[in-house]
Structure 1
Amino acid sequence: MTDVLSVFLSPNGVKNTPFEIKTPLDGMTLDDTKALALNLVDSLVHLKDESGEFRVPIPTGGFKVDSKSWNNWEWTQGVGLYGMWHLFEITGDQTVLSHIQDWFNFQLAKGTPTKNVNSMAPMLTLAYLYEHTGEIKYRAYLESWAEFIMHGIPRTTENGIQHITFRQVNEGQLWDDTLMMSVLPLAKIGVLLNRPAYVEEAKRQFLLHIKYLADRRTGLFFHGWTFIERHHFGEALWGRGNSWVTIAIPEFLQLIQLPPDDSLRVFLLSTLEQQVEALKKYQDSNGLWHTLIDDPDSYLEVSASAGFAFGILKGVRLGYLDSQYREIGLKGLEAVINNVNEKGLVQNVSFGTPMGADKDFYRKIKLTAMPYGQAMTLLSVVEHMRKYL
Structure 2
Amino acid sequence: MSPAATTQETAPSHAPGPSKGAAAASTLAPSVEHDKAAELVDRLIHKLLNNEDTNKEFLLPLADGRIIDTKGWNGWEWTHGVALFALWEHHALTADRRSLDIITKWFHDRMAEGGTTKNINTMAPFLALASIYERNPRPQYKEWLLEWAEWAMNGLPKTHEGGFQHMTYIDDHDGQLWDDTLMMTVLPLAKIGLVLDRPEFVDEAKYQFLVHIKYLSDSRTGLWYHGWNFNGRHNFAKALWARGNCWITVAIPVFLSLLGVQPDTSDFFTRTLLATLRAQLDQLTKLQDPQTGLFHTLLDDPNSYLESSATAGFAAGTLLALRNGFLSSSPNAAAYASMAQKALGGVVSMIADDGELQNTSFGTAMGNDLDFYRNIAITPMPYGQALALFAVVQDMALATKP
Provide the rounded CA distance (Å) in 2 between the counterparts of 1:293 and 1:56: 28
The equivalent residue for 2:249 is 246
The equivalent residue for 2:52 is 48
Contact 2:30 2:399 in 1 (8 A): no
The equivalent residue for 1:290 is 296
Pairs aligned (count)? 364
Deviation digits for residues 53-83 of structure 1 (CA, Å, limit 9, x no counterpart): 111233x235532111110110000001111
Contact 2:225 2:240 in 1 (8 A): yes
Give RMSD over aligned pairs: 1.3
Deviation at 1:339, TM superposition (A): 0.3
SS at match of 2:177: strand
The equivalent residue for 2:81 is 78
SS at match of 2:64: coil
Q: How does 1:93-104 map to 2 (within 5 A)?
A: 93-104=96-107
5+ residue gaps, structure 1, are 1-24
Deviation at 1:142, TM superposition (A): 0.3
The equivalent residue for 2:258 is 255
Deviation at 1:134, TM superposition (A): 2.3
AA aligned opposite 2:288 = Q
TM-score (normalizing by structure 2): 0.88
Deviation digits for residues 82-134 of structure 1 (CA, Å, limit 9, x no counterpart): 11111111222222211111111000110111100000000000001111222
Provide the rounded CA distance (Å) in 2 between the counterparts of 1:315 and 1:250: 5
Does residue 118 of the first structure (1) align with residue 121 of the second (2)? yes
AA aligned opposite 1:55 = L
Structure showing greater relative contact order (alpha-carbon pairs closer than 8 Å, 6 or more residues apart) = 2
The equivalent residue for 2:387 is 376
The equivalent residue for 1:281 is 286
Q: How does 1:1-389 map to 2 (within 5 A)?
A: 28-58=32-62, 60-258=63-261, 260-285=265-290, 286-321=292-327, 322=330, 323-324=333-334, 325-389=336-400
Deviation at 1:337, TM superposition (A): 0.8
AA aligned opposite 1:301 = E
Provide the rounded CA distance (Å) in 2 between the counterparts of 1:61 and 1:196: 36
Provide the rounded CA distance (Å) in 2 between the counterparts of 1:106 and 1:198: 27
AA aligned opposite 1:267 = T
TM-score (normalizing by structure 1): 0.91
Provide the rounded CA distance (Å) in 2 between the counterparts of 1:106 and 1:29: 36
Provide the rounded CA distance (Å) in 1 between the counterparts of 2:385 and 2:134: 24
Deviation digits for residues 183-241 of structure 1 (CA, Å, limit 9, x no counterpart): 00000000100000000000000000000001111110000000011000011000000
SS at match of 1:174: strand
AA aligned opposite 1:74 = E
Deviation at 1:148, TM superposition (A): 0.5
SS at match of 2:191: helix
SS at match of 1:199: helix
Deviation at 1:257, TM superposition (A): 2.6
Q: Determine what percentage of the aligned residue pairs are the same residue.
A: 49
Provide the rounded CA distance (Å) in 1 between the counterparts of 2:303 and 2:64: 38
SS at match of 2:361: coil
Stretch moving more, 325-334 or 254-263: 254-263
Deviation at 1:280, TM superposition (A): 0.6
Contact 2:32 2:395 in 1 (8 A): no
Provide the rounded CA distance (Å) in 1 between the counterparts of 2:97 and 2:254: 24
